[in-house]
């Protein structure tokens, strides 16, 4: 009887030790590895593009798990590589608390929303556009007489899938607030921003990346009408890069 009791205590004690070991391995080894497995900008699969029957442009997707890659072009082909935001958010919600969560994003105040690209916007319309899965929202810059507009498409859960900027601001960017302090370079004045990745870093040290494509490379007939200064700019879905 005593030996059974001893055996029970031995097993009971060791089970607790195993549980603690498992927890520590998960916290200090598995979770960091999960972070490392999130996408890097350099490792992408080769693409197979098929032209759109209506526009003649290309849209294809990277086969890599955490990557949404699309390619457009008629004679010129431009690629973009951005992370799959829903999957990233899912990964974040499953244990990477140090990154901006979707819920946090959804509960931004108006001031915080305005700081997403540094300007203040007022919505003036929404339409279902043929060929788009999600409705397109139309925004104007709230600065007096500013001609700048933007259109964006959101999924039903609020994820932005596409942003198109038209025109130029005729005023400096409003003072950024404490949350998004540095690095917020979206549609820069004068259009000198080159094609490529841009990023902003939040006040909490989190970095959001996205890719810029200038309208001028889009094939003729594309519906993103170019104004006389060729400043219509299409922005792709932003991605979140974990630290």
Partner DNA sequence: TATTTTTGACCAGTC
Partner DNA sequence: TGACTGGTCAAAAAT
Q: Do the Cβ atoms of 213 and 176 come closer than 8 Å?
A: no
Find the farthest-apart pair of alpha carbons in the chain and give their distance in angstroms, rounded: 93
172 interface partner picked from Zn ion, DNA, none, CB below 5 to 8 A per type: none
Cα–Cα distance between 73 and 164 in angstroms, integer?
17
Q: Please give the structure tokens belonging to residue 219.
A: 């094939």
Q: Tell me if 187 contacts Zn ion by CB under 5 A.
A: no
Please give the size of the binding site for Zn ion, defined by CB under 5 A: 5
Among 41-49, 59-67, 122-130, 164-172, the segment contacting Zn ion (CB under 5 A) = 164-172
Chain residues 105-144 in contact with Zn ion, contact rule CB under 5 A: 141, 143
Nearer to DNA, 99 or 120 (CB): 120
- Contacts with DNA by CB under 7 A lie at 110, 113, 120-131, 136-138, 142, 149, 151, 223-225
Shortest Å distance, C-beta 15 to DNA: 51
Nearer to DNA, 32 or 172 (CB): 172
Which burial class, exposed, middle or buried, applies to 70 when counting CB atoms under 10 A from its CB (0-12, 13-18, 19+)?
buried
Look at residue 124 and give its three-state secondary structure: strand
Q: Do the Cβ atoms of 179 and 171 come closer than 8 Å?
A: no
Among 69-77, 127-135, 162-170, 180-188, the segment contacting Zn ion (CB under 5 A) = 162-170
120 interface partner picked from Zn ion, DNA, none, CB below 5 to 8 A per type: DNA
What are the φ and ψ backbone dihedral angles of 140, each rounded to 5 degrees?
-115, 150
Q: Tell me if 82 contacts Zn ion by CB under 5 A.
A: no
Q: How many degrees, rounded to 5, is the angle at CA 199 between CA 207 and CA 167?
A: 140
Which residues contact Zn ion by CB under 5 A? 141, 143, 146, 148, 169
């Amino acid at each position: 009887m005593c030996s059974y009791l001893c055996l029970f205590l031995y097993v009971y004690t060791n089970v607790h030790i195993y549980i603690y070991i498992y927890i520590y391995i998960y916290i200090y080894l598995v979770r960091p590895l999960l972070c490392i497995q999130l996408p890097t900008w350099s490792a992408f699969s080769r693409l197979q593009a098929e032209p759109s029957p209506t526009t003649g442009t290309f849209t294809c997707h990277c086969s890599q798990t955490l990557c949404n890659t699309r390619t457009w072009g008629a004679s010129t082909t431009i690629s973009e590589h951005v992370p799959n935001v829903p999957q990233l958010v899912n990964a974040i919600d499953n244990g990477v608390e140090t990154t901006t969560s979707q819920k946090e994003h959804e509960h931004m105040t108006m001031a915080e929303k305005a700081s997403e690209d540094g300007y203040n916007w007022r919505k003036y319309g929404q339409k279902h556009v043929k060929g788009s899965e999600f409705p397109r929202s139309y925004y104007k810059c709230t600065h007096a007489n500013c001609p700048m507009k933007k259109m964006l498409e959101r999924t039903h859960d609020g994820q932005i899938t596409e942003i198109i900027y038209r025109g130029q601001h005729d005023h400096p960017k409003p003072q950024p607030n404490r949350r998004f302090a540095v690095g917020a370079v979206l549609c820069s004045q004068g259009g000198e921003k080159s094609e490529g990745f841009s990023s902003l870093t939040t006040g909490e040290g989190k970095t959001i990346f996205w890719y810029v494509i200038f309208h001028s490379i889009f094939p003729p007939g594309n519906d993103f009408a170019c104004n006389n200064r060729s400043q219509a700019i299409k922005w792709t879905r932003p991605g979140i890069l974990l630290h």
